[in-house]
Structure 1
Amino acid sequence: MATTIEKAEQRVKDLEEKLKQAKALKQKAEARVRAADAKQKRADDTRRKVLVGAYLLQQMSADPSIHASVLKGLQGFLTRPDERALFGLEPNASTPPAAGNETAHAG
């Protein structure tokens, strides 16, 4: 027959195991929240880029000087031939970028 001390020790072990499980659940929940926040930040960033791009395209079509200015800026910004072709720019004559770094811009 288990003594009172043995019962108490078993109860402590059981509670410690429950605490360990609760902490693991808390960590999982916190990780889900962090992942959801990161996903929302990426979505917001993408949405900002789309809206700014739409605005610039509208401005470029309305004002030839803005069109010329943006294209001039894109000359040095875009390095990939497929990206340059989207704006009617000739492929760069310079050497291709290093492997794993296909564009000079972030994003």
Structure 2
Amino acid sequence: MAYKRKSPDEKIAELEKKAAQIKARLQSEQAKIKGQERKNDTRRKIIVGALALEHEDAAFKETLARLIRQYVTKPQDRALFDLPPLPEPETPPPS
């Protein structure tokens, strides 16, 4: 049985198919890395938060409460801490 030589167009199509497969595998591996980085970041935040809550003294507790009131701005996040929603910013009157 004789081997049929591929035309340049067939070779290009085959290489493009392989390139697409490699690109898909690369994207999959990059997504795995990003997912693990997100998990690690979340875990760090959980650990730090647990330590902060476990070792709070009066001064630290007040500082933490002040920072939470100051920096937690999303309504759903403020609700987690039983904080009232922030007032709506005043809009300047039309000129």
Q: TM-score, normalised by structure 2?
A: 0.72
**Structure of greater relative contact order (alpha carbons < 8 Å, 6+ residues apart):** 1
User: Which position in structure 2 is the counterpart of 1:76?
Assistant: 70
Unaligned runs of 5+ in 2: 90-95
**Partners of 2:41 and 2:85 in 1: CA distance:** 28
Q: TM-score, normalised by structure 1?
A: 0.65
Q: Which runs of 4+ in 1 moved over 6 A?
A: none
Q: 1:23 to 1:66 in 2, by over 3 A?
A: same
User: Which position in structure 2 is the counterpart of 1:100?
Assistant: none
Following superposition, the deviation at residue 27 of structure 1 comes to 0.5
Over the matched positions of the two proteins, sequence identity in percent amounts to 24
CA RMSD of aligned residues (A): 2.1
Unaligned runs of 5+ in 1: 1-6, 97-107
Following superposition, the deviation at residue 13 of structure 1 comes to 2.9
Secondary structure of residue in 1 paired with 2:81: helix
